Structure 1
């Protein structure tokens, strides 16, 4: 899986730590993600043949958490820490703390886990042996500090840190750790892509489930640090040189390779020419990713295909932004992959998102691409066997059909009949 070093035969350790204050101070329902993470086979969590799982649900005492982390870090095998919770700033020392169950504003220094304790226990492990996957809500002070000091959550040179930090809600219902939940759901669906691709897909899935605020995102880099950005961090191994065509197809024509050039060889009898100036190297053209993605999907490797598409979508988001034709293209590719994987509800959801994005780009309701997205969402909705899931997606589809009736007479009326 490429997440932690140590080999598949090593014994790994996974720590599932979810913590948040009780009562009105709770900004994230952190513990809600533990059942779905715990349902993933332990070896899948760590990328090893066997693994031990340590679960800490709403712990009370920072010393207890430190002791459990220290014991896990002392093992020789790969260690993966899954962390859900909320960050608060100790104003006296300007240091972030992970809130625990008894944490209040007045008792933060004594009842919360200092972030530098986590860095101290994990930062000294061998490079590549430790991975932290974090889904965090930050109070206003931490959020402001992150903007000024993106390395505030640095864990040292050894651990790989993937994560998402969002602003804590000021009022209303606590947020949910949808980023971590997406990791668990991908694994439970059979996907086994590398961690960078998992991160990219989880960011996209989490954003699709909520009115996502601006987020700090992280993927390992030469100098790991959270960078303020509303778009997913790039996956370095996938760097398209050209903008993909905004057509939702998985089989575009391959990009031709540049023709090789060479200087002519002079005849033996000819006088030696002056040294030629070397021709500049032909520009690198990235290989078209669509055939490889389609091949993986057709071979039944649906998790791998989805991860590749998500990585390219992440790259499009980084270069062009979430409201761009390039980003919408990859949403549509992922929708088609969900169809091929036999996931009509997921496909419908993605086609709905694509149609909304295209309308937000001011494409008219009778634009062929807009109509195609709504038609495909409608078709996939009709394939959903779960009545509850179909019912949850139905209102959004009806609202889109009212705006985009399409060219099939009676489509809206038929949809309303099915809904009732």
Structure 2
């Protein structure tokens, strides 16, 4: 509700978190002095405001408690988050690193991003805004390029995520500083306009910029959530993608797929992936894990990863979709199952990273034995290439 007319007291939660020592990728607390100099009412978009500043938090449970308390406030809530994101390799989950986080203690010392998203999803749609300026480590960066950063329905999100800086360099939260500097100069345009101005000036060119606003569209029957809004533009030619969304999987009166793929073909891969993740989240909550609706959106995300030139993630998602269909008792020769495995196989063949190909090869071989498909020699071809990869020395060896 930034820049709004709401008279209810608002809350701004400023979180600046990054590991201490050589694991630090961003000067997270560098944005706090500039933000602290902004009039509180501008940070919250309300006349009365409460500002909570959390610099270098150390414990994820304590941080979650503070987030939960802020999320329970009845008025508008704005979170300003600067820090760095890491990927938990075991569960493939994004985490916000805290002061004591190291690569080996990530799962215990960092805040899982879905904890934060889960607290915000409980709030009334349209009352929450998240503004971010974050750096992602290499593995998190690859996943975020394919999937975006999920927050959920009814939440406005603006900000920037950048790849890791060059070695021995520490990034600066230039995006948040640009916003704060504008506000300190007495200029307070709509946040969407301010975001565009900051994004145009701070870069870098390969950054992911979040710009998710919300509008009310017809929601699913019996659902209290708002569906994500989508830009209305002419879609690009449809890719060889999943079959059209079945009527039972539609979450509004309009099929969002053309708009999502239009964003992907226009190069807005983060936006497309984020929207698809939102719809998948709705399907998961409405129809349950493993449902036809949830599997459909899993396949959409797999094809979006292909369009984003991330064959590893696309391969993983297509394998997950095939497993989901098999778990629903679809036979191995079902065309939809065969198609999912064929697509996973094709994406695996596009991998240019031998290490990732070696990691994804064994589960794909296992899946191929169960679903050999209709192309003769597919299993043997896969095994031959995997054996060759195991005889190839690692890069730099």
TM-score, length-scaled by structure 1:
0.50
1:182 and 2:178 matched: yes
**3-state DSSP of counterpart to 1:80:** strand
Question: Highest Rg: 1 or 2?
Answer: 1
Is contact 1:4–1:129 with CA below 8 Å preserved after alignment?
A: no
Is contact 2:3–2:42 with CA below 8 Å preserved after alignment?
A: no
Correspondence for 1:29:
27
2: CA distance between counterparts of 1:148 and 1:192?
A: 33
1: CA distance between counterparts of 2:22 and 2:44?
A: 35
2: CA distance between counterparts of 1:8 and 1:49?
A: 8
1: CA distance between counterparts of 2:79 and 2:213?
A: 18
Correspondence for 2:209:
217
1: CA distance between counterparts of 2:104 and 2:166?
A: 18
1:168 deviates by 1.1
1:39 and 2:37 matched: yes
Is contact 1:88–1:98 with CA below 8 Å preserved after alignment?
A: yes
**3-state DSSP of counterpart to 2:212:** coil
Is contact 1:167–1:213 with CA below 8 Å preserved after alignment?
A: no
Decide which of 181, 192, 197 is 2:193's aligned counterpart. Answer: 197
Decide which of 149, 159, 163 is 1:163's aligned counterpart. Answer: 159
Correspondence for 1:101:
99
2: CA distance between counterparts of 1:22 and 1:175?
A: 14
Is contact 2:135–2:164 with CA below 8 Å preserved after alignment?
A: yes
CA deviations over 1:270-304 (Å, ceiling 9, x no partner): xxxxxxxxxxxxxxxxxxxxxxxxxxxxxxxxxxx
CA deviations over 1:382-417 (Å, ceiling 9, x no partner): xxxxxxxxxxxxxxxxxxxxxxxxxxxxxxxxxxxx
**3-state DSSP of counterpart to 1:131:** strand
CA deviations over 1:106-140 (Å, ceiling 9, x no partner): 00000000000110111121111000000010011
Is contact 1:90–1:108 with CA below 8 Å preserved after alignment?
A: yes
Correspondence for 1:3:
2
1: CA distance between counterparts of 2:65 and 2:22?
A: 28
1:4 deviates by 7.1
Decide which of 113, 131, 153 is 1:133's aligned counterpart. Answer: 131
Identify if the C-alpha distance between structure 1 residues 159 and 4 changes in structure 2 by more than 3 Å, giving closer, same or farther. farther
Work out the number of aligned pairs and report it.
221
CA deviations over 1:88-111 (Å, ceiling 9, x no partner): 000000000000000000000000
Is contact 1:4–1:130 with CA below 8 Å preserved after alignment?
A: no
1:9 deviates by 1.6
Is contact 1:130–1:158 with CA below 8 Å preserved after alignment?
A: yes
1: CA distance between counterparts of 2:74 and 2:84?
A: 29
Is contact 2:86–2:95 with CA below 8 Å preserved after alignment?
A: yes
Correspondence for 1:283:
none
**3-state DSSP of counterpart to 1:86:** strand
Correspondence for 1:92:
90
Correspondence for 1:245:
none
2: CA distance between counterparts of 1:128 and 1:83?
A: 19
Identify if the C-alpha distance between structure 1 residues 166 and 194 changes in structure 2 by more than 3 Å, giving closer, same or farther. same
TM-score, length-scaled by structure 2:
0.53
Is contact 1:11–1:48 with CA below 8 Å preserved after alignment?
A: yes
2: CA distance between counterparts of 1:158 and 1:124?
A: 10
Correspondence for 2:56:
58
Identify if the C-alpha distance between structure 1 residues 158 and 222 changes in structure 2 by more than 3 Å, giving closer, same or farther. closer
Identify if the C-alpha distance between structure 1 residues 54 and 124 changes in structure 2 by more than 3 Å, giving closer, same or farther. same
**3-state DSSP of counterpart to 1:85:** strand
Is contact 1:4–1:79 with CA below 8 Å preserved after alignment?
A: no
CA deviations over 1:193-242 (Å, ceiling 9, x no partner): 111011111112313xxxx251111111569xxxxxxxxxxx979x9xxx
2: CA distance between counterparts of 1:213 and 1:30?
A: 21
2: CA distance between counterparts of 1:222 and 1:196?
A: 12
Is contact 2:126–2:214 with CA below 8 Å preserved after alignment?
A: no
**3-state DSSP of counterpart to 1:37:** helix
Q: Which runs of 5+ in 2 are unaligned?
A: 216-229, 234-265, 268-397
**3-state DSSP of counterpart to 1:219:** strand
1: CA distance between counterparts of 2:55 and 2:205?
A: 26
1: CA distance between counterparts of 2:13 and 2:205?
A: 28
Is contact 2:78–2:130 with CA below 8 Å preserved after alignment?
A: yes
Correspondence for 2:351:
none
Is contact 1:12–1:79 with CA below 8 Å preserved after alignment?
A: yes
Is contact 1:60–1:100 with CA below 8 Å preserved after alignment?
A: yes
Is contact 2:19–2:98 with CA below 8 Å preserved after alignment?
A: yes
